[in-house]
């Protein structure tokens, strides 16, 4: 995850670089429930409106949260599925706040209304993120529900008006890229605090629809738009949070933008970005290296505490992810920006090649930009997901 705004603020208003504070523990994105009232096209958790077996009880959730806190986890993002489908979500949120976490709620927004927004606000969530895939027609098509856009936008307004920090989360593909400029305008017009731009990851239904992933030229266009929008907000004296996720080449792309526009400050930014360090990991009831590694289970918090699972590097993937530099090969291994990007998103490399450490096929930087000879390290082709007949509807 790359927070563009503070980096561009450091360009607009240079301040000395301070040594990084070591995080006390990983950020945990917790898929509290797999059930969801929607069946979105790119859902990473392949959710549905049905009860999935093995969800954690309230008491089990509380026990895990206490362990996470004792382990030093500073941030909990409560996600799903749709977390508001858990009747105990308010109790969980309150307990998380009592334990001292920064607590985010990640929702599709369709279950937030005048009847429950007061209860959500009373929990004291530090942030509420609501997904929009584009404007009305696009969003409703992606969400496979007429009226979903209107409900989600109403939820954003209700949360904003109740005093919560709110953000729009958007995942771009070839199918919805055309709505990005209008969506940025909407975020501006509505006074929404944050825009989270996600690149597509090849997990869950996102993997099944990977052939729709944005092509590299489109990604570059989107990044230019985001960086320019962020910069304009800073210049206008009303900075807004612009954050990108699932493609750590974004850090390098941002650096190149600064090299072009503010060359004397680029070296400072490079040092800041190396401190950030690119790709990192988060979590789940079953613990995965991050929320995209649904197929790789490291253990279950019902059987073993998170604090024991997380440092365990018996699994070769976990061992490699914790290595610095990571043991990446091919184009990523030869890249001169590895210290910034950290080899990007391994799950995409793995889904396309079967190799955890192959180059990330979604790197949209040119060979010249990463300092390798043209064609020396070709990227794996973006092949469609090999569907079996039963999966056509998924």
With CB under 6 A as the contact rule, the residue among 343, 347, 350, 351 that binds ligand SF4 is 343
With CB under 6 A as the contact rule, the residue among 69, 208, 209, 331 that binds ligand SF4 is 331
Please identify, among the stretches 35-43, 194-202, 248-256, 283-291, the one whose residues bind ligand SF4 according to the rule CB under 6 A: 248-256
Go through 238-261 and write b for each residue having 16 or more CB atoms within 10 A of its CB, e for each that does not: ebbbbbbbbbbbbbbbbbebbeee
Q: Considering the rule CB under 6 A, would residue 380 count as an interface residue with ligand SF4?
A: no
Q: Which residue number, 138 or 219, has a Cβ lying nearer to ligand SF4? A: 219
Q: Which residue number, 205 or 348, has a Cβ lying nearer to ligand SF4? A: 348
With CB under 6 A as the contact rule, the residue among 337, 346, 361, 380 that binds ligand SF4 is 337
Please identify, among the stretches 2-10, 68-76, 109-117, 340-348, the one whose residues bind ligand SF4 according to the rule CB under 6 A: 340-348
**From the CB of 334, what's the least distance to ligand SF4, in Å?**
8
Rounded (10°) angle between helices 249-261 and 216-235: 60
Q: Considering the rule CB under 6 A, would residue 213 count as an interface residue with ligand SF4?
A: no
With CB under 6 A as the contact rule, the residue among 4, 76, 363, 380 that binds ligand SF4 is 363
Segment 251-290, which members bind ligand SF4 (CB under 6 A)?
252
With CB under 6 A as the contact rule, the residue among 132, 255, 347, 365 that binds ligand SF4 is 365
Q: Considering the rule CB under 6 A, would residue 344 count as an interface residue with ligand SF4?
A: yes
Q: How many residues bind ligand SF4 (CB under 6 A)?
A: 16
Please identify, among the stretches 79-87, 88-96, 202-210, 246-254, the one whose residues bind ligand SF4 according to the rule CB under 6 A: 246-254
Q: Considering the rule CB under 6 A, would residue 207 count as an interface residue with ligand SF4?
A: no
**From the CB of 349, what's the least distance to ligand SF4, in Å?**
9
Q: Which long-range contacts (CB under 8 A, 24 or more apart) does 361-365 make?
A: 362/199, 362/200, 362/213, 362/216, 362/219, 362/247, 362/249, 363/247, 363/249, 363/331, 363/332, 364/216, 364/217, 364/219, 364/220, 364/247, 364/249, 364/253, 365/249, 365/252, 365/253, 365/337
With CB under 6 A as the contact rule, the residue among 33, 84, 214, 332 that binds ligand SF4 is 332
Q: Considering the rule CB under 6 A, would residue 117 count as an interface residue with ligand SF4?
A: no
Q: Which residue number, 93 or 343, has a Cβ lying nearer to ligand SF4? A: 343
Q: Which residue number, 64 or 349, has a Cβ lying nearer to ligand SF4? A: 349
Q: How far apart are CA 294 and CA 126, in angstroms?
A: 27
Q: Considering the rule CB under 6 A, would residue 347 count as an interface residue with ligand SF4?
A: no
Q: Considering the rule CB under 6 A, would residue 200 count as an interface residue with ligand SF4?
A: no
Please identify, among the stretches 128-136, 289-297, 362-370, 386-394, the one whose residues bind ligand SF4 according to the rule CB under 6 A: 362-370
Q: Considering the rule CB under 6 A, would residue 210 count as an interface residue with ligand SF4?
A: no
Please identify, among the stretches 43-51, 189-197, 330-338, 381-389, the one whose residues bind ligand SF4 according to the rule CB under 6 A: 330-338
Please identify, among the stretches 67-75, 99-107, 130-138, 247-255, the one whose residues bind ligand SF4 according to the rule CB under 6 A: 247-255
Please identify, among the stretches 165-173, 229-237, 309-317, 360-368, the one whose residues bind ligand SF4 according to the rule CB under 6 A: 360-368
Q: Which residue number, 175 or 248, has a Cβ lying nearer to ligand SF4? A: 248
> Residue numbers of the site for ligand SF4 (CB under 6 A)?
248-249, 252, 331-332, 335, 337-338, 341, 343-344, 359-360, 363, 365, 370
């Amino acid at each position: 995850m790359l927070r563009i705004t503070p980096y561009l603020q450091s360009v607009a208003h240079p301040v000395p670089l301070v040594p990084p504070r070591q995080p006390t523990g990983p950020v945990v994105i917790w898929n509290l429930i797999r059930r969801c009232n929607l069946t979105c096209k790119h859902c990473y958790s392949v959710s549905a409106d049905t009860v999935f077996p093995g969800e954690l009880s309230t008491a089990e959730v509380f026990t895990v949260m206490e362990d996470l806190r004792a382990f030093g986890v500073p941030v909990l993002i409560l996600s799903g599925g749709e977390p508001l489908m858990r009747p105990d979500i308010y109790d969980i949120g309150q307990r998380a706040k009592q334990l001292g976490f920064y607590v985010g709620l990640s929702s599709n927004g369709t279950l937030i209304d005048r009847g429950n927004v007061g209860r959500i606000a009373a929990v004291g969530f530090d942030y509420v993120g609501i997904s929009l895939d584009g404007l009305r027609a696009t969003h409703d098509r992606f969400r496979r529900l007429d009226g979903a856009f209107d409900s989600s936008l109403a939820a954003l307004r209700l949360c904003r008006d109740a005093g919560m920090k709110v953000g729009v989360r958007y995942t771009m593909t070839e199918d919805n890229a055309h709505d990005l400029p209008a969506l940025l305008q909407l975020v501006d017009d509505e006074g929404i605090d944050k825009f989270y731009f996600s690149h597509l990851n090849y997990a869950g239904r996102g993997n099944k629809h990977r052939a729709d992933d944005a092509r590299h030229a489109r990604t570059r266009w989107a990044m230019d738009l985001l960086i320019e929008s962020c910069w304009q907000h800073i210049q206008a004296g009303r900075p807004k949070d612009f954050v990108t996720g699932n493609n750590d080449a974004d850090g390098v792309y941002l650096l190149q933008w600064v090299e072009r526009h503010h060359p004397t400050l680029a070296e400072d930014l490079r040092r800041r970005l190396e401190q950030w360090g690119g790709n990192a990991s988060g979590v789940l009831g079953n613990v995965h290296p991050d929320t995209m590694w649904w197929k790789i289970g490291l253990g279950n918090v019902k059987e073993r505490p998170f604090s024991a699972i997380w440092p365990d590097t018996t699994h070769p993937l976990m061992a490699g992810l914790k290595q610095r530099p990571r043991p990446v090969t091919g184009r990523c291994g030869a890249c001169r920006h590895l210290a910034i990007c950290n080899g990007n998103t391994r799950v995409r490399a793995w889904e396309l090649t079967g190799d955890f450490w192959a180059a990330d096929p979604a790197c949209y930087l040119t060979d010249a930009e990463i300092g390798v000879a043209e064609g020396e390290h070709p990227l794996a082709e973006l092949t469609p997901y090999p569907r079996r007949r039963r999966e056509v509807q998924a």
